[in-house]
Amino acid sequence: MLKRIAAFGEVMMRLQVPGYDLLSQGNTLHYSFSGTGVNVISALTRFGHSGQLISRLPANPLGDAAAAYLRKLGIDSSFVVQGGKYLGLYFLENGFGARPSRVTYSNRLESSFNTAPEETYDFAGIAGAIDAVHFCGITLAMNEGIRQQMKSLARAVKQQGGLVIFDCNYRPSLWGEDGYAKAKSHYEDMLQLADIVLMNERDALFILGMSTTKEQREEQLVELIPAVAEQYQISVIAGTHRYIHSDNSHSLRGFLYKNQSFTFSDMLTFSVYDRIGAGDAFTSGIVHGELKGFPPEKTVRFAAAAGMLAHTVSGDTPLASEEEILRAMTESVGDVER
Amino acid sequence: MLKRIAAFGEVMMRLQVPGYDLLSQGNTLHYSFSGTGVNVISALTRFGHSGQLISRLPANPLGDAAAAYLRKLGIDSSFVVQGGKYLGLYFLENGFGARPSRVTYSNRLESSFNTAPEETYDFAGIAGAIDAVHFCGITLAMNEGIRQQMKSLARAVKQQGGLVIFDCNYRPSLWGEDGYAKAKSHYEDMLQLADIVLMNERDALFILGMSTTKEQREEQLVELIPAVAEQYQISVIAGTHRYIHSDNSHSLRGFLYKNQSFTFSDMLTFSVYDRIGAGDAFTSGIVHGELKGFPPEKTVRFAAAAGMLAHTVSGDTPLASEEEILRAMTESVGDVER
Amino acid sequence: MLKRIAAFGEVMMRLQVPGYDLLSQGNTLHYSFSGTGVNVISALTRFGHSGQLISRLPANPLGDAAAAYLRKLGIDSSFVVQGGKYLGLYFLENGFGARPSRVTYSNRLESSFNTAPEETYDFAGIAGAIDAVHFCGITLAMNEGIRQQMKSLARAVKQQGGLVIFDCNYRPSLWGEDGYAKAKSHYEDMLQLADIVLMNERDALFILGMSTTKEQREEQLVELIPAVAEQYQISVIAGTHRYIHSDNSHSLRGFLYKNQSFTFSDMLTFSVYDRIGAGDAFTSGIVHGELKGFPPEKTVRFAAAAGMLAHTVSGDTPLASEEEILRAMTESVGDVER
Amino acid sequence: MLKRIAAFGEVMMRLQVPGYDLLSQGNTLHYSFSGTGVNVISALTRFGHSGQLISRLPANPLGDAAAAYLRKLGIDSSFVVQGGKYLGLYFLENGFGARPSRVTYSNRLESSFNTAPEETYDFAGIAGAIDAVHFCGITLAMNEGIRQQMKSLARAVKQQGGLVIFDCNYRPSLWGEDGYAKAKSHYEDMLQLADIVLMNERDALFILGMSTTKEQREEQLVELIPAVAEQYQISVIAGTHRYIHSDNSHSLRGFLYKNQSFTFSDMLTFSVYDRIGAGDAFTSGIVHGELKGFPPEKTVRFAAAAGMLAHTVSGDTPLASEEEILRAMTESVGDVER
Amino acid sequence: MLKRIAAFGEVMMRLQVPGYDLLSQGNTLHYSFSGTGVNVISALTRFGHSGQLISRLPANPLGDAAAAYLRKLGIDSSFVVQGGKYLGLYFLENGFGARPSRVTYSNRLESSFNTAPEETYDFAGIAGAIDAVHFCGITLAMNEGIRQQMKSLARAVKQQGGLVIFDCNYRPSLWGEDGYAKAKSHYEDMLQLADIVLMNERDALFILGMSTTKEQREEQLVELIPAVAEQYQISVIAGTHRYIHSDNSHSLRGFLYKNQSFTFSDMLTFSVYDRIGAGDAFTSGIVHGELKGFPPEKTVRFAAAAGMLAHTVSGDTPLASEEEILRAMTESVGDVER
Amino acid sequence: MLKRIAAFGEVMMRLQVPGYDLLSQGNTLHYSFSGTGVNVISALTRFGHSGQLISRLPANPLGDAAAAYLRKLGIDSSFVVQGGKYLGLYFLENGFGARPSRVTYSNRLESSFNTAPEETYDFAGIAGAIDAVHFCGITLAMNEGIRQQMKSLARAVKQQGGLVIFDCNYRPSLWGEDGYAKAKSHYEDMLQLADIVLMNERDALFILGMSTTKEQREEQLVELIPAVAEQYQISVIAGTHRYIHSDNSHSLRGFLYKNQSFTFSDMLTFSVYDRIGAGDAFTSGIVHGELKGFPPEKTVRFAAAAGMLAHTVSGDTPLASEEEILRAMTESVGDVER
């Protein structure tokens, strides 16, 4: 029953100032390798699926280190190509309480992934070897070549009966001025190809240009998401509402819209250690629930708990097992396990 | 008025992943050496008593490092024997918020302490040189030889007029299947020898097999502890109720039963930095209060404050001085001391 | 419109045990260089002013490291003299929750700064090159020679039309027994020379020996501060009330008294990462507001937000830019900035 | 032409005191996972072969961390079983110059690998899936059950036409008193099954009980190795002579005996950073040369250079690529590669 | 007599794996900021000159950290512009003995410096404010815009009577295929503008296409350098011959050609800790000697000793004072200075 | 046969920049506690003697940390008094090859030890409890009060039949201008009280003002040491000649003069990791040989080997056991011990 899932996406090097120092204070960085696809696929391998990444890494010591890191995360790298010269990277300065975290990117547009020639990947072969494929809006923002690759692969998977998952994940800084206008048609292409979509009412309003008279986020959500599902023929739409508090804690509530019906998780409130990548943990929970045929309520609660736990580990990539997430769904916080 | 106190117990090496990483994420461990006896005795030396450990360490660089660490903690190692080959050790992965801490043990049954031959220690000589001795339920779970050594030493101390302290400290994983049944008679032996016992209503219910119609922990405690004291002729029984919250904070309330009367500390609520060993700090507070003849209310409040402060330092071993604990009993949290 | 500001004060080396360990547990220290003047001036350079330190550093590798650190902080060291042999230093053990932080000083009285011969600095020349000068009560506590230097420099600046800023910053441990009596006349000298003073009602009560029948801090403040301003002819008096909570959070409320009128910031409550030096961030905010002619309400809110943010970075020295402080004044806590 | 190679052997956790400190000085350890089989197989995957480990890891966080580490090293873990409770581990204190390194072992006999039940592995299935298998004398020293597993697997591979590689690697401390006598028949069994053997004249003298009138190591080697090859029908015997100097440098000379003829590498002299596991790099070079059909001189020079480079990286596991080794065989030391 | 010197060049972030680990082994990097110009200018400020950098840094936290680091090095950043988005960076894996160091670059062509618009710098104003300017061949390799800026600035300085220093520093990987042909005319332009040139016979042979019948490096040098000086009308040409040994030591010999006469330093042999940037220390020594009017022998010996000492400190940037270099020229290695 | 030995001396905090960085480069320090007396006594406890320190530590967290560290080193602290406020400390920047190490001191004259009131120690009681006492010339340089304490204690030990050991250890920077003249009479007082003296010909020449016509150090030694022994009636004089090489290695040769006869060790040459405190290891070897009645040749070879091994461990304090030193005397460098 476990599935073969792949993600198409860039591997980024994360360079993090330890503790809560700024770049101008320290002289040391912790590094790891991640990416939306990496995070989702790694989480799914922990739930027992077989996971692969479709990507391109530089043929140099950075690319070698990234490939070793992917293997450590449990990701099969048979579809990873080595070529090109650069790896996208970002610097992370952790915020604390009233001070927000800061992320500074290198020029990822020159990366091996974002400069991969058209014929880099054998999409037909890949599509035949997998049950589902994951894409995200960050990749969609890169350049026209990458967008073509995304759409080609999505079509290939769809043709061979596989599942297409798309996480809207709109990042204003990547699309630049008039970003929503530039992005709209590409998002629409992906939504038309997708079976499972991660988004919330803001994506509908800003990217798709929908409108509502409602003012509460919750009411907007309930009005707009069904319209999106209808218009683009999407089976499952899921997402979260997040609220950030001043004491290093967040609140998170997940929703799942399927078969014309909404299911919500409880609002979870929890201390946050590392916020980055937690959205990908939620995605992995939704995908796992759908792949294993969980009832909607179990799926959305599983995804929300997966999201919550991902805030408690360092790094972008979720590390919880299915068993740990199931326990977090049902039990109160426990004492030391010994 | 200060006393000579010894503990009989194993020294464990603690290997902790720094920060909140998992073993599969990191490549560095912090190490220290501890143990219930080590923790209680070290705390008591900080209160001015002279403290000794009765234990066995391997005759190799690990044993040398452990012995140096004990000395650093202020523990006299004249009763520590070097022999055998292994030191028990455990790996600690710190939890964060919704994610619990995890402890993974090595095979401590092969340790120098747990394989010490019968004639390793001169119990009569030791008993003559001390005023009190501390044992705990973890040691009782090891093997039959160790249990015999515990009981022999307890009897020797009792015969020479010393005080016997016993901390029930039942760990289900150490006793295995049907653990309560296996443990009961050994616990009864120790309770009959003990003057001061650390436990709460759960030990009475599960180990001693007592029963109650009450449902609230507090009511069960008040019903069962006097029965235990009566049945096993125990002068002092003390313990805590602990409540764990989702924001890295705990609440703790101590009790002391003596002369047919209960005394309770306030319920203390505090942020937790390192939970392991905090129970031993409570024990050290009870023992110190009894040895110095504090009135029961001062003893239980001192013990609870000692326990609270032990949650705020890294490592298993309490580090607070008597003065610091007295200040924590009476004052609100202070600004930087400078 | 940006100004040339100098501070007269000692540079201290801060030696901090990492994390929450005690000196007797660890074997590593983080070091940095700070001081009230360093902190205030560095913060002001981040707001765009040009900042200088008037101080003396040893002519050895410690002095070289301190000078490099000052430059890194953006401080112009043209008025820093190298001579003498020692640098004042302090050890910091971070508290956690119920356990307060501890600071242990070296013998700073022997430092290059505190033993600087009378003719070390060219006060007339310096006064001609700056718009404002900052002093603090810590320096005033050092020795008679230093006090003479402070007063000479303050007079020189005043004569040339510059602004004199004085932070009362009374530290009982520095003045010793009968400290308030010893300190009073020196504080009075400085208050008479000062245009902007940082203090609160406690300084009025204890150092200046004023009295009040009020019992609430807020009421005492409102009664005493106007009297101080009147008596010593001070244009601006500002300060804070701080409240420390048991969960590593503090509350802070700033006030500004100017033109016979009080302005208060909101009471801000926030998680604390590093409390030391946060008062200097508040000072820098008041000075910046006055130098740029902010309305009083903006000044005190800016200063309070600067103070709050300074609790969220490591080290004594504030690092926030004007833009970051303005954003913290108006927005709720944000998500990762990327 | 690249091959499928497996090794049967234990995974050990290496816990290393950083720098040149002793365990009694430090409080931090670096950890990694290794083992003779791990090292040889990982090196071979870097040369382009597909490599697998046949082993058993505990079903706990230590086992998970070891499995992730193996994947990072490029090792396929399909034949790794999770079960049992313990992982063998050793502590390493680096020597410096005149002070030798020290290794302290935990009780590896209780490890998951060494307590694996008879039916743990599907040896027939494994033998069908590989071209060659590697064993070593350390594994042979463990216990009778493990020895049976070794011999069963060796026979299965031989039956299916695969190559059997055996590294004598005799460790006196593992066999105890009268170790050579205990070990002899087991070594003979393995030598009879092996096609490629790693050993030198000392193994012939001490384990196999051969004798010689020669006194020089080189002469003994030339006399004894052909006799061993003859007696046990071994195609290839290879090994090294190592000389340790007082300035953190070693000299190493490799030999290869094949088709009744000796080939020797030059004596290489080089600075040593991490000596452990360097023998396994030599083994990997011999195996690679044989699998790819290098002429003997190229094989032994490749193996010696692989061994030399393995002394220059931290950790037990060789990390050089085929290209880097070929370059080290032909070029003098180079400047920074940029 | 001390001078105002500027360098035109890129600031790079150096990201170094600690110790001797590879990128695929570690998870931590040390970072610093350097560049040929940074190194030369910082060294000259330690000799008492005033030093400035002419460069462009991104307007983000990386740029802020770089600017702070330059100030810490003693460099005046009045001519540093903030703009653009990226900082060039490189990863360094330290070699050990037989294993060479490896450097992996990010895409520096997209850096703020290399994309600076034509009008970024006020070259006339800058030229008026300095006595000398330093350029290097790495900058020349970047792109046509940068080359124009270099030449414009060199001409402006020359016009105003300043000294032009040019370090040939040819890096094959930066010029790509047919690099020497592409580079030749640009090098000739710079040589015609330069007063002091750093190079050796290889630059004459490969970049300038000169030829010789001599085979020894020393003989080639003596034949070719006078011809270069003659042809391009260069006052001073200086450089080194370096020999790399297998035991982490190097040998270095400096030469100085001036007034038609060669001067050589002794061949220095020394242990190497960090090789990168040591050439810039040699340059700084030559420039300092020329600026202060040292006799040629003192200049070349000073430069060689400065180069030697730069191999003994971490980071690219030389840190020795004039006094320390003078002592290293005359004394044998000393004991601890205390 | 093992003895009770005490040392009278100051405990210093050593603050070391890790690796080979300068103070102006790093932000981290490693700390430990040492002192000539600490080093000698700790080494002797490792040889089986019971060792005590006679000293005074501040009554604050620094003093507590120092006391814990002494206990860890195996030193009995019954004669250590807590009082005063400051601990002497020094900063160490490690040299590398051609760059010497640098030590920067804090103001140790204000330390608890150096300001101990006259009546701090019970010298008569101490003298009755020990077999030997160790002093050194560093302590003699401090101030008149300390010198009186030294001489009083030496006399008390001598009166009660104990052995007085004196290490000349002249440090020019501590005695200042005309240091030899100031020091002479105090050294003479100590030499007259001493039974075992550590010195070489330079002390005779410079401190005692002796003269010789010989030019070679070896010849001067052989001429002057017997004259010193004669004049001050010293039973045993021992010391070393040290030669420092440019490749991080030193050579060391020990001598012992006793019963009118010289014995020399071989000249040992070895790689150096941490040079500080190695002289104290030599002293401990001489003292141990004398206390155990080794023949002179064994004593001087043991002391030289102890000195050599002390260069291979970090920190000031020797850590080798008697067995390790005996092995280093007889064997060549060994492979990993496992």
Contacts A172 to C, Cβ<8 Å: none
- Nearest-neighbour CA in chain E from B25: distance (Å): 9
Return d(Cα B8, Cα B116) in angstroms, integer.
Answer: 12
ipTM rounded to 2 decimals: 0.93
CB–CB contact F103 E249 (8 Å): no
Contacts A23 to F, Cβ<8 Å: none
How many other C-beta atoms can be found within 10 angstroms of the C-beta atom of residue F106?
27
Chain segment A278-331, per-residue pLDDT in tens = 999 999 999 999 999 999 999 999 999 999 999 999 999 999 999 999 999 986
Helical residues (DSSP H) of A31-86, grouped into ranges: 36-46, 61-72
Residues of chain E with pLDDT under 70: 1, 331-334
Percent of chain B with pLDDT over 70: 99
* Contacting D residues, span 160-189, partner chain F, CB-CB under 8 Å: 171, 173
How much is the pLDDT for E248? 84
CB–CB contact D97 F271 (8 Å): yes
CB–CB contact B335 C242 (8 Å): yes
- Is it true that domain D235-331 has CATH number 3.40.50.1260? no
CB-CB contact of B225 with B257 (8 Å): yes
How much is the pLDDT for C2? 81
User: Least CA distance to A248: which residue of chain B?
Assistant: B247
Return d(Cα C60, Cα C111) in angstroms, integer.
Answer: 12
CB of D20 less than 8 A from some CB of E: no
| pLDDT per residue as tens, chain D (338 positions) | 689 999 999 999 999 999 999 999 999 999 999 999 999 999 999 999 999 999 999 999 999 999 999 999 999 999 999 999 999 999 999 999 889 999 999 999 999 999 999 999 999 999 999 999 999 999 999 999 999 999 999 999 999 999 999 999 999 999 999 999 999 999 999 999 999 999 999 999 999 999 999 999 999 999 999 999 999 999 999 999 999 887 888 999 999 999 999 999 999 999 999 999 999 999 999 999 999 999 999 999 999 999 999 999 999 999 999 999 999 998 666 677 77
Burial of C181 (C-beta count, 10 Å sphere; 0-12/13-18/19+):
exposed
CATH topology of domain E235-338: UDP-N-acetylmuramoyl-L-alanine:D-glutamate ligase (3.40.1190)
A235-332: which CATH number, 2.40.10.220, 3.40.1190.20, 1.20.120.140, 3.60.21.10? 3.40.1190.20
CATH architecture entry for E1-118: 3-Layer(aba) Sandwich (3.40)
Assess whether pLDDT exceeds 80 at residue F41: yes
Return d(Cα C141, Cα B265) in angstroms, integer.
Answer: 43
Residues of chain A with pLDDT under 50: none
Return d(Cα B98, Cα B110) in angstroms, integer.
Answer: 35
How much is the pLDDT for A330? 83
Question: Whole-model pTM?
Answer: 0.94
User: Using CB atoms, which residue from D25, D244, D248 is nearest to F271?
Assistant: D248
Chain segment F169-215, per-residue pLDDT in tens = 999 999 999 999 999 999 999 999 999 999 999 999 999 999 999 99
User: Which residue's entry shows tokens 């089986």?
Assistant: F48
Greatest Cα pair distance in chain D: 55
Assess whether pLDDT exceeds 70 at residue B325: yes
CB-CB contact of C88 with F86 (8 Å): no
Contacts A74 to D, Cβ<8 Å: 68, 71
Return d(Cα A30, Cα A10) in angstroms, integer.
Answer: 20
CB-CB contact of D165 with D131 (8 Å): no
| pLDDT per residue as tens, chain C (338 positions) | 689 999 999 999 999 999 999 999 999 999 999 999 999 999 999 999 999 999 999 999 999 999 999 999 999 999 999 999 999 999 999 999 889 999 999 999 999 999 999 999 999 999 999 999 999 999 999 999 999 999 999 999 999 999 999 999 999 999 999 999 999 999 999 999 999 999 999 999 999 999 999 999 999 999 999 999 999 999 999 999 999 887 888 999 999 999 999 999 999 999 999 999 999 999 999 999 999 999 999 999 999 999 999 999 999 999 999 999 999 998 666 677 77
CA dihedral D208, D214, D215, D221 (to 10 degrees): -50
Q: How far apart are the first and last CA of chain D?
A: 33
User: Using CB atoms, which residue from A20, A101, A246 is nearest to C314?
Assistant: A20
Helical residues (DSSP H) of chain B, grouped into ranges: 36-46, 61-72, 123-128, 137-140, 144-159, 172-175, 179-193, 201-206, 217-232, 278-292, 296-310, 322-330
Contacts A17 to F, Cβ<8 Å: none
- Nearest-neighbour CA in chain A from D54: distance (Å): 18
Closest CA to D195 of D174, D217, D173, D167: D167
Q: Residues F312-320: what's their mean pLDDT?
A: 93
Return d(Cα B82, Cα B80) in angstroms, integer.
Answer: 7
Most A CBs within 10 Å, among C20, C33, C333, C335, to test the A interface: C333
CB-CB contact of F252 with F268 (8 Å): yes
Domain range B235-333, CATH class: alpha beta
CATH topology of domain C236-333: UDP-N-acetylmuramoyl-L-alanine:D-glutamate ligase (3.40.1190)
How much is the pLDDT for D104? 96
Closest CA to B14 of B119, B83, B88: B88
Sort residue E295 into left (φ over 0), alpha (ψ -120 to 50) or beta. beta
CB of B68 less than 8 A from some CB of D: yes
CB of C33 less than 8 A from some CB of E: no
How much is the pLDDT for A332? 66
Return d(Cα E200, Cα E217) in angstroms, integer.
Answer: 9
**Total CB pairs under 8 A between chain B and F:** 14
CB–CB contact C30 F31 (8 Å): no
Helices (H) and strands (E) in chain A, counts: 12, 14
Return d(Cα C239, Cα C294) in angstroms, integer.
Answer: 17
Can you give the residue ranges of every domain in chain B? Answer: 235-333
Written as six digits, the tokens of D170 are: 């005799």
Return d(Cα C4, Cα C79) in angstroms, integer.
Answer: 13
**Total CB pairs under 8 A between chain A and E:** 74
How much is the pLDDT for A247? 80
Confidence of residue B336 (pLDDT cuts 50, 70, 90): confident
- Nearest-neighbour CA in chain D from F117: distance (Å): 34
Distance of CA B297 to the CA centre of its chain: 21
- Nearest-neighbour CA in chain D from C99: distance (Å): 23
CB–CB contact F23 C65 (8 Å): yes
Contacts B69 to F, Cβ<8 Å: 72
Written as six digits, the tokens of B138 are: 């973890």
How much is the pLDDT for F36? 97
Return d(Cα F167, Cα F281) in angstroms, integer.
Answer: 12
Written as six digits, the tokens of D232 are: 């046990």
CB of C321 less than 8 A from some CB of F: no
Return d(Cα B66, Cα B87) in angstroms, integer.
Answer: 9
Assess whether pLDDT exceeds 80 at residue F22: yes
C-alpha distances in angstroms, A94 versus A178, A307, B247? 30, 19, 19
Written as six digits, the tokens of A42 are: 């790694």
Contacts C93 to F, Cβ<8 Å: 61
Return d(Cα A197, Cα A184) in angstroms, integer.
Answer: 15
If DSSP codes are grouped into helix, strand and coil, which group holds residue B256? strand
B63 φ/ψ angles, rounded to the nearest 5 degrees: -65, -40
Chain segment B287-302, per-residue pLDDT in tens = 999 999 999 999 999 9
Full 3-state SS string of D269-287: EEECCCCCCHHHHHHHHHH
CB-CB contact of F10 with F114 (8 Å): yes
Q: Residues F250-272: what's their mean pLDDT?
A: 96
Assess whether pLDDT exceeds 90 at residue F265: yes
| Residues near C255 by beta carbon (within 8 Å), at least 6 away in sequence | C200, C221, C225, C238, C239, C240, C241, C262, C263, C264, C265, C300
Contacts A27 to F, Cβ<8 Å: 26-27
How much is the pLDDT for F336? 74
- Nearest-neighbour CA in chain A from D69: distance (Å): 6
Return d(Cα B227, Cα B235) in angstroms, integer.
Answer: 12
| Element holding F280 (H helix, E strand) | helix F278-292
